[in-house]
Amino acid sequence: MNKKIVLISVIGLLAVALTLLLFNNDNKQDVAVVKELDVIDKYGYILYDNKTDLYKEKFGELKEILSEDNVDYLAYAKKIAELFVADFYDLNSKKTNTDIGGVDFIYKSAKDEFILKAQDTIYKYVENNVYGKREQQLPSVIKANADLVTEEAFESQKVTDLNAYKIKVDIDYKKDLEYPNSVTLVLVHDENKVFIVEIK
């Protein structure tokens, strides 16, 4: 009698273990590994293969700007503004609502607040797409063009820049889902880089 109970228990445990193993392997096959495609070493910008074609194109343009001996900071700021918009507003390319785009371009002391605000607003209802089965319609950015640029003083508790850039970026989407068609960003200098400190 004891041998039968032990044998049934062992068979039951093996069945459960096999089911869990198969379930986990099925899910793991669908998860893509993100790879590094390019780096702008001196500035710490990294291009990953999960970014959109538009973002990859803008990243290449940024790399050209930053490879010059004398960097054109206005062109640099405009390209950062375009990269931010191409990434932040392209919700369709995001896996979850915590996968916030454009964070690399936000001023360091404002990043945490920016992420929390994004998760509570524009990213709040982004459904999980880790396994590529999401059916939700989300915006895909197809154009991000820096349009109007002004230089002016910017001052806050965290940063002061007498030559900050105020840049308006026009946005086109694959399909109009009533997301912003333009956004104005304020960028400041910090050592050899520029960062976004305000989004309007």
Domain ranges of the chain: 35-199
User: Which overall architecture, per CATH, does domain 35-199 show?
Assistant: Roll (3.10)
Which tens digits make up the pLDDT trace of 56-71? 999 999 999 999 999 9
Q: Which residue has the higher pLDDT, 118 or 18?
A: 118
Of the listed ranges 19-23, 43-47, 132-136, 173-177, the one predicted with least confidence:
19-23
How far separated are the first and last CA of the chain, in Å rounded? 75
- For residue 27, pLDDT over 80 is answered with no
The region, left, alpha or beta by phi > 0 then psi within -120 to 50, assigned to residue 178 is: left
- The burial of 100, by beta-carbon neighbours within 10 Å (0-12 exposed, 13-18 middle, 19 or more buried), is given as buried
Question: What distance in Å separates the CA atoms of residue 63 and residue 77, rounded to the nearest whole number?
Answer: 13
Question: What distance in Å separates the CA atoms of residue 70 and residue 64, rounded to the nearest whole number?
Answer: 12
pLDDT band at 158 (very low <50, low <70, confident <90, very high): confident
- For residue 178, pLDDT over 90 is answered with yes
Predicted local distance difference test score (pLDDT) of residue 4: 59
- For residue 103, pLDDT over 60 is answered with yes
Of 6-10, 28-32, 94-98, highest mean pLDDT? 94-98
Buried b (16+ CB within 10 A) or exposed e, 116-137: eebbeebbeebeebeeeebeee
The region, left, alpha or beta by phi > 0 then psi within -120 to 50, assigned to residue 24 is: alpha
Predicted local distance difference test score (pLDDT) of residue 28: 47
Predicted local distance difference test score (pLDDT) of residue 22: 58
Average pLDDT (29-35) is: 68
The region, left, alpha or beta by phi > 0 then psi within -120 to 50, assigned to residue 12 is: alpha
pTM of the model: 0.84
